[in-house]
């Protein structure tokens, strides 16, 4: 059966198996004509299409962000948090970039993440932030990873492996991981010479000054009460590094700010903190069709055209990490203009409203900049009712090819 999009216009009408209709006066570009005229491995700009959807990561931006954070904490070392595939930016390339820029150590969530860096030849200290079961401890020991003790039973498991170096985490109010303040003395005795660091995590350094000060005061009181023997002390996350000098201690431990993402999400501007967003998420216009008034788009036909318009099919969906909740909410950049998402995001595809200037092969920017216009991860997060962290970490690396610019030097 011949598809509707493939039928050539004749005398201003097009034949459909459902009903005849008048083509909109604005006349969207003819799909069949453009397919014949343009190699769809090439963007309209002349650049090669890397994949159906791709992420561009600027490593020079990440290096600049490291230097910005080091200036905020000039008397502290910097431990770069590169868990979750470096917040979706690519673990190994990002780790190399932050170390080149001056980071002293890395932090990850799992022993498997740490082992990936060792396999890539990275020799810097690596701290595993979460609790590890025996198999994880064995992997950490094999790969010379530092581990965290979060409880008395956990400290005992770690102490049974004498080659492990350990950081003790203290719960000062986040109530998630860490020993209680009154358990620190017991944990220290269990870990003895294996103990090389002690830390806490700030629950609301981006939003609640009083709560943050309470956490830091409790942490300082524990440090004053215990003879910890000169171990590395750290507490500052990205927000702490930027706005709470009291939290800096021996080492700061930023995560989201390394990637040019603002700790306040959509309420903050990364550029105001001298942070450069490092990731762009892009696709291309794969097809264009005309919509008449009343015609719907995508599953459920939740969008219906109110007037004649053009609709561009773009090969990105929730399988790539472009969340379904963005349906009928989000915008994308095409030819430097913000274009509305029409209807539901599907597993592999979205449709955006465009005009007659847009052609097949045009670049589509879901996150990033184009011709002076910009859509930040923070803005996409607001449309999705979430945070910028989830937007970038949710990008599916199996479906979204990454490319890197400025791989060495900055």
What per-residue confidence (pLDDT) applies to 105?
A: 98
What are the φ/ψ torsions at residue 101 (nearest 5 degrees)? -80, -10
Residue 41 is predicted with a pLDDT of 60
Domains of the chain: 4-55+279-405 (2.40.37.10), 73-254 (3.20.20.10)
Per DSSP, helices labelled H in 144-199 are 152-159, 184-191
Question: Which tokens is 254 given?
Answer: 């930023």
User: From the candidates 259, 299, 306, 404, which is the catalytic residue?
Assistant: 299
Which residue is listed with tokens 């014949």?
A: 36
Q: Report DSSP letters for 229-247, one per residue.
A: TT-EEEEE-HHHHHH-GGG
How confident is the model at residue 229, as a pLDDT? 86
Residue 214 Cα distances to 60, 118, 223, 238, angstroms? 37, 38, 14, 18
Active-site annotation holds for 83: yes
CA angle 386, 110, 230 (to 5 degrees): 105
pLDDT along the chain (410 residues), means of 10: 36 34 52 41 65 94 98 98 98 98 98 98 98 97 98 97 98 96 97 97 96 98 93 98 98 98 91 96 97 97 98 98 98 98 98 97 97 96 96 96 76
* Residue corresponding to tokens 């009181």: 221
**Closest alpha carbon to 279 in 367, 170, 362, 199:** 367
Q: Provide the CB-side half-sphere exposure for 206 (13 A, CA).
A: 17
**Distance separating alpha carbons of residues 306 and 69, to the nearest angstrom:** 49
CB atoms within 10 A of CB 332: 28
The residue from 83, 87, 199, 322 that is catalytic is 83
Contact 127, 197 (CB under 8 A): yes
């Amino acid at each position: 059966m011949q598809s509707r999009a493939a039928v050539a216009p004749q005398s201003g009408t097009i034949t459909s198996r459902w009903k005849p209709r008048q083509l909109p006066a604005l006349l969207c570009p003819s799909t069949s004509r453009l397919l014949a005229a343009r190699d769809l491995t090439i963007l309209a700009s002349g650049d090669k299409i890397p994949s159906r959807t791709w992420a561009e990561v600027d490593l020079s931006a990440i290096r600049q962000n490291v230097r910005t954070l080091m200036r905020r904490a000039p008397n502290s070392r910097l431990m770069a948090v590169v868990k979750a595939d470096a917040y979706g930016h690519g673990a190994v390339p990002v780790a190399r970039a932050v170390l080149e820029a001056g980071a002293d150590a890395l932090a990850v969530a799992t022993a498997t993440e740490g082992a990936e860096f060792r396999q890539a030849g990275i020799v810097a200290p690596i701290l595993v932030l979460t609790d590890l079961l025996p198999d994880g401890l064995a992997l950490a020991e094999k790969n010379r990873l530092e581990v965290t003790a979060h409880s008395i039973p956990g400290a005992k498991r770690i102490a049974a492996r004498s080659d492990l170096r350990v950081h003790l985490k203290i719960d000062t109010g986040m109530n998630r991981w860490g020993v209680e303040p009154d358990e620190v003395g017991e944990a220290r005795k269990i870990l003895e010479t294996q103990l090389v660091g002690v830390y806490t995590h700030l629950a609301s350094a981006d939003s609640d000054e009083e709560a943050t000060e309470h956490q830091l005061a409790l942490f300082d009181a524990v440090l004053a009460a215990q003879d910890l023997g000169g171990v590395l002390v750290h507490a500052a996350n990205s927000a702490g590094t930027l706005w709470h000098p009291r939290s800096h201690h021996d080492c700061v431990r930023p995560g989201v700010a390394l990637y040019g993402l603002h700790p306040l999400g959509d309420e903050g501007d990364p550029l105001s903190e001298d942070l450069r967003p490092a990731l762009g998420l892009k696709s291309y216009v794969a097809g264009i069709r005309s919509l008449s008034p009343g015609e719907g788009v995508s599953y459920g036909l939740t969008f219906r055209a109110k007037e004649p318009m053009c609709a561009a099919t773009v090969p990105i969906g929730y399988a790539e990490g472009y969340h379904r909740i963005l349906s009928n909410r989000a915008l994308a950049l095409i030819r430097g203009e913000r274009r509305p998402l029409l209807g539901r995001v599907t597993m592999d595809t979205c449709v955006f409203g465009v005009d007659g200037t847009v052609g097949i092969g045009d670049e589509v920017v879901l996150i990033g900049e184009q011709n002076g216009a910009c859509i930040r991860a923070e803005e996409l997060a607001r449309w999705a009712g979430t945070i910028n962290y989830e937007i970038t970490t949710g990008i599916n690396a199996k479906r979204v090819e990454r490319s890197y610019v400025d791989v060495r030097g900055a």
